[in-house]
């Protein structure tokens, strides 16, 4: 029996197909290009010269850029400019941008952003979790308790998120860190 290669090969003289990641378009594409400038030093000038698309998604990404730069008041101003019925969608974009930072363990940095998300979307369970953890780290036990208890009301899976929230609440009740 002759040995056969099991991996498909391109025909001689042709190039094999190569998967290429699609570049986001619209507001997501705009944000991808502006994100390196979403810091406290460059954000204002960059957004003035390269404004966000005038869409709901554009408003969400513009608010996310300001939020990443630590300019929560400016982010709120952008969210407030969206119709009240759509604000949760715009702030959802902000959450999606900031969530990887919080999940990576930097709840302190993500805390103000998560608090803003909770202000516009009060039952967003992961924003409640991260806001509560930030408040715990910043030694604000009453706020931490409030947000973590709300998180537990909305989130029922028995996993690490829930167990960690319960553990922190127990430490708060004992007065230990």
Assign 3-class secondary structure to the chain.
CCCCCCCCCCCCCCCCCCCCCCCCCHHHHHHHHHHHHCCCCCHHHHHHHCCCCCCHHHHHHHHHHHHHCCCHHHHHHHHHCCCHHHHHHHHHHHHHHHHHHHHCCCHHHHHHHHHHHHHHCCCCHHHHHHHHHHHHHCCCHHHHHHHHHHHHHHCCCCCHHHHHHHHHHHHHHHCCC
CA distance 134 to 33: 29
Q: 53 lies in a domain?
A: yes
Better-scored residue on pLDDT, 177 or 128? 128
Q: Percentage of the chain surpassing pLDDT 70?
A: 86
Provide the domain count of the chain.
Answer: 1
Q: Say what the pTM is.
A: 0.83
Average pLDDT of the chain to the nearest whole number: 88
Q: Percentage of the chain surpassing pLDDT 90?
A: 79
User: What pLDDT is attached to residue 101?
Assistant: 87
The angle at the Cα of 69, spanning 33 to 54, to the nearest 5 degrees, equals 50
Q: 51 lies in a domain?
A: yes
Indicate if the alpha-carbon torsion angle 29, 30, 32, 33 is positive or negative.
positive
Tell me if 130 sits within 8 A of 111, measured CB to CB.
Answer: yes
> Which pLDDT band, with edges at 50, 70 and 90, does 23 fall under?
low
- Give me the domain span that covers residue 123: 26-174
Q: 5 lies in a domain?
A: no
pLDDT tens for residues 72-110?
Answer: 999 999 999 999 999 999 999 999 999 998 888 888 889
Q: 11 lies in a domain?
A: no
Q: 14 lies in a domain?
A: no
Averaged pLDDT for residues 109-131: 96
Q: 4 lies in a domain?
A: no
Task: Give the domain CATH number at 49.
Answer: 1.25.40
Q: 13 lies in a domain?
A: no
pLDDT at 12 over 80: no
Q: 18 lies in a domain?
A: no
Better-scored residue on pLDDT, 142 or 1? 142
User: What pLDDT is attached to residue 119?
Assistant: 97
What is the C-alpha radius of gyration for the chain, rounded to an integer number of angstroms? Answer: 22
User: What pLDDT is attached to residue 53?
Assistant: 96
């Amino acid at each position: 029996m002759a040995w056969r290669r099991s991996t498909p090969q391109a025909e001689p003289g042709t190039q094999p197909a190569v998967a290429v990641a699609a570049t986001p378009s619209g507001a997501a594409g705009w944000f991808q290009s502006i994100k390196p400038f979403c810091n406290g030093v460059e954000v204002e000038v960059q957004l003035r010269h390269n404004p966000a698309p005038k869409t709901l998604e554009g408003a969400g990404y513009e608010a996310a850029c300001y939020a990443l730069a630590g300019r929560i008041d400016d982010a709120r101003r952008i969210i407030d400019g969206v119709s009240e019925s759509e604000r949760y969608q715009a702030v959802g974009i902000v959450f999606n941008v900031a969530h990887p930072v919080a999940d990576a363990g930097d709840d302190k940095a993500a805390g103000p952003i998560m608090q803003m998300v909770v202000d516009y979307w009060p039952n967003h369970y992961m924003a409640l979790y991260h806001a509560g953890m930030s408040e715990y780290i910043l030694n604000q036990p009453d706020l931490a308790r409030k947000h973590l208890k709300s998180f537990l009301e909305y989130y029922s899976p028995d996993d690490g998120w829930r167990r960690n929230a319960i553990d922190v609440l127990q430490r708060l009740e004992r007065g230990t860190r």
